[in-house]
Amino acid sequence: MSDPRSLARAITAIEAGAPAPDSTPGSPTLAVGITGPPGAGKSTLVDALIREIRTRNQTVAVLAVDPSSRITGGAILGDRIRMQQHHADPGVFIRSLGTRGTTGGLARTTSAITLLLRNAGFDYVLIETVGVGQDEIDIAQVADITVLVLVPNMGDDIQALKSGILDVADLYVINKSDQPGAGRTEQDLRASGRTAPMLRTVATTAHGIRALLDRILATPPAVNRATPTTRYALQSLNDALRGFESAIGIKPGTLAVEYPASGDVPIRIIRKEH
């Protein structure tokens, strides 16, 4: 594994616009996206997962992506303090990414840095993102497995979540299951037609964390997802489209890259109807 300082320097360079590294074929890293609404307990869950991974003598890098830092800067600071206890551990690498000061978009940066961490040979890369906005759905593409963290009694709040984020999840976690209403959230998810597995956790006591990591390991990386290098290239193309939309004065998100699973079908840039 690369030493933390050179990793940190390489990450700063990527944030400043340096291109993604080439990917090492066959990297065994499992990149896991941990997404969900603010306050659902994602950082606490990541912290518990770090412990569980270390108990298994494996290594982990964490990317805390939090666009809310755009507004307060507080969320990232809080995460940093909470995760600081791992700093003395050479098997754990933690980096917060703000949206400020990144060149070419958060999605591009996250996907390039994830490649870097895959190359560095960590067993896991955990990517914590706030499950709001298109950026976050794009980031779910970077991960091999995406975990959506929800809480008890969500009811209508589930409908309020971007449906995209519900659909990209490979696993649903109902965290804070020490509070009543976990069954209600599960019912609401099922009622909305979602079929991915659901697990309950209490991140603050690590209840359910071992089962969660086992479940993550048992989940096949999403089928039809592109390789990390292709995903990075697609991300860059998407970022370029945002620039193009702005240049010709059309609504952001109108254009999309259509990347079919089958190699026989052409790749196209399409204009979505709104």
Ligand X SMILES: Nc1nc2c(ncn2[C@@H]2O[C@H](COP(=O)(O)OP(=O)(O)O)[C@@H](O)[C@H]2O)c(=O)[nH]1
- Cβ at position 176, least distance to ligand X in Å: 4
With a CB cutoff of 8 Å and minimum separation 6, the contacts of 21 are: 10, 112, 115, 116, 119
Q: Which of 95, 108, 176, 231 binds ligand X (CB under 6 A)?
A: 176
Q: Choose the contact partner of 41 out of Mg ion, ligand X, none; CB within 5 to 8 A by kind.
A: ligand X
Name the segment binding ligand X (CB under 6 A); options: 106-114, 119-127, 172-180, 250-258: 172-180
- Is residue 129 within the footprint of ligand X (CB under 6 A)? no
- Is residue 74 within the footprint of ligand X (CB under 6 A)? no
Q: Which of 29, 43, 110, 219 binds Mg ion (CB under 5 A)?
A: 43
- Is residue 175 within the footprint of ligand X (CB under 6 A)? yes
- Is residue 221 within the footprint of ligand X (CB under 6 A)? no
CB 162 within 8 A of CB 133: yes
| 72 vs 227 by CB, closer to ligand X | 72
Q: Which of 21, 33, 41, 104 binds ligand X (CB under 6 A)?
A: 41
Q: Which of 10, 31, 32, 40 binds ligand X (CB under 6 A)?
A: 40
Q: Choose the contact partner of 202 out of Mg ion, ligand X, none; CB within 5 to 8 A by kind.
A: ligand X
* Residues within the interface to ligand X (CB under 6 A): 38-44, 175-176, 178-179, 202-204
* Residues within the interface to Mg ion (CB under 5 A): 42-43, 79
